[in-house]
A and B are shown apart, each in its own frame.
Chain A
Amino acid sequence: MPELPDLNPVIHGKLRLALLSLLAGVEEADFTWLRAKTGSTDGNLGAQLQKLEGAGYLKVKKRFVQRKPQTLYRMTDAGRGALAEYVRALKALLGTAISVD
């Protein structure tokens, strides 16, 4: 059986995996929604999002809505590819059939 390090370490972290999975189902989402869905703190969430952005898996857009700042996150093609690859690796490790599109 292959070892765990075969899985992409950037994605394997629970919160980062949750974030990428959430963003896989939407076109874009803002920081507040991601925080509510993951139940994480501002600091932790910001740090993990920065790591994903640094890896090129997320694109960040900042704007003002009704004079309040809003940060929007969108998954990049590289992020989708990496998540799909991660799922393939998981499937290989577990030998189960799952579908994520």
Chain B
Amino acid sequence: MAHDIENRELRERLDLMESMIAEGRKMTGNWGWAFILWGVAYYLAFAWSFLGSNAAIAWPITMAAAGVTTGILSSRMSRARPRTGVVRAISSIWLVMGVLLFVLMMSLAFSGRLDNHISLSVVGTMLAVANGASSLILKWKMQFACALAWLAAAEIACFGSDAQQLIAFLTATFFCQIAFGIYAMISESRHRLHGEVHA
């Protein structure tokens, strides 16, 4: 009898360890909002550059504002989150992609060599790389589909007309940023609802 109780207690310890280790490794971040924010920023930049005045500064200003907003919101969010290898890997991919894209686009703009087709193909390819790498780390098929959609938009920017590349970019922005962001937020909140484990 005492032996059974002892065994049960040891098994409880094992179950506790397994559930806690799994809980610690769970991706608890909520990043769906960032996709939506950047999707809206792309639309605003497009609208400003086509319809507003000072079109030349539309993209730099909008992208810089989106970058600062992302930085502020993510620093507030990360206060109560643990740092894991997965979180660090994915954050690094997106941070490096964002910084490189910003530097490259600024250089092209100031050198006067910024061409619509080249810039959209570069942006599409970079987003495909970041989404593709994140999807492979997270094993997330939906995000992998987004990577393919961005790659398709980049290819259309290479081979298509002005109108075709614009439609491809706006469509990819809607599905891969706004729709994917909403989907990610819903699935993340579901995970949080069912994922709490107490010792």
Task: Decide: A33 and B82 in contact? CB cutoff 8 A.
Answer: yes
Q: What DSSP secondary structure best describes chain A's contact surface?
A: helix
The yes or no answer to A43 lying at the interface (CB within 8 A) is: no
Query: What separation, in Å, do the CA atoms of A12 and B6 have in the docked complex?
Result: 13
The yes or no answer to B3 lying at the interface (CB within 8 A) is: yes
- Could you say which residues of chain B place their CB within 8 Å of the CB of A23? 24
| A-B Cβ contacts below 8 A, count | 95
The yes or no answer to B25 lying at the interface (CB within 8 A) is: yes
The yes or no answer to B95 lying at the interface (CB within 8 A) is: no
Query: What separation, in Å, do the CA atoms of A23 and B76 have in the docked complex?
Result: 22
Task: Decide: B14 and A98 in contact? CB cutoff 8 A.
Answer: yes
Closest chain B residue to A89, Cβ basis? B10
The yes or no answer to A10 lying at the interface (CB within 8 A) is: no
**Number of A interface residues, CB 8 Å?**
35
- Could you say which residues of chain B place their CB within 8 Å of the CB of A29? 24, 82-83
Task: Decide: B16 and A27 in contact? CB cutoff 8 A.
Answer: no
Spell out A's residues near B (CB within 8 Å): 1, 4, 12, 14-15, 17-18, 21-30, 32-33, 36-40, 65-66, 68, 70, 87, 90, 93-94, 96, 98, 100
A18, A30, A70, A100: the one contacting B199 at CB < 8 Å is A18
Query: What separation, in Å, do the CA atoms of A40 and B197 have in the docked complex?
Result: 12
Which residues in chain B, 74-92, are within 8 Å of chain A measured between CB atoms?
75-76, 79-85, 88
Task: Decide: A38 and B14 in contact? CB cutoff 8 A.
Answer: no
Query: What separation, in Å, do the CA atoms of A36 and B133 have in the docked complex?
Result: 31
